[in-house]
Structure 1
């Protein structure tokens, strides 16, 4: 089950669980579309994996499987 993290690790933009602008890698590192498609070039700066759009979760499962509230912010991510 995906954690559905609430923010972009680079710019700290809010990414609600139902956001269509959240990108993740296979380790669930989470980034907004601007960072993922911009300076990260769809590559996770943490593991080198490919960033893809985060899938959605069916509404009837939110109560049983809520999204994460843990913020991870690395303001210097993806910078040379």
Structure 2
């Protein structure tokens, strides 16, 4: 009788592929040596622990905000 030996605890398993996609950070590309290449700046470098910063572009001030869900919003 193996029914008496079974645990009454319900166990849920996630697919291994999904777990790996969630937990692994995306690799950042190496800086390009070409002067015409697109420049990349990490958002945490811009925000430096703050939730928002002001960016001046062509004499206009914009607000860059990070949401609780990790999205970025740029407003004028």
Structure showing greater Rg = 2
Larger relative helix fraction = 2
Higher relative contact order (CA 8 A, sep 6+): 1
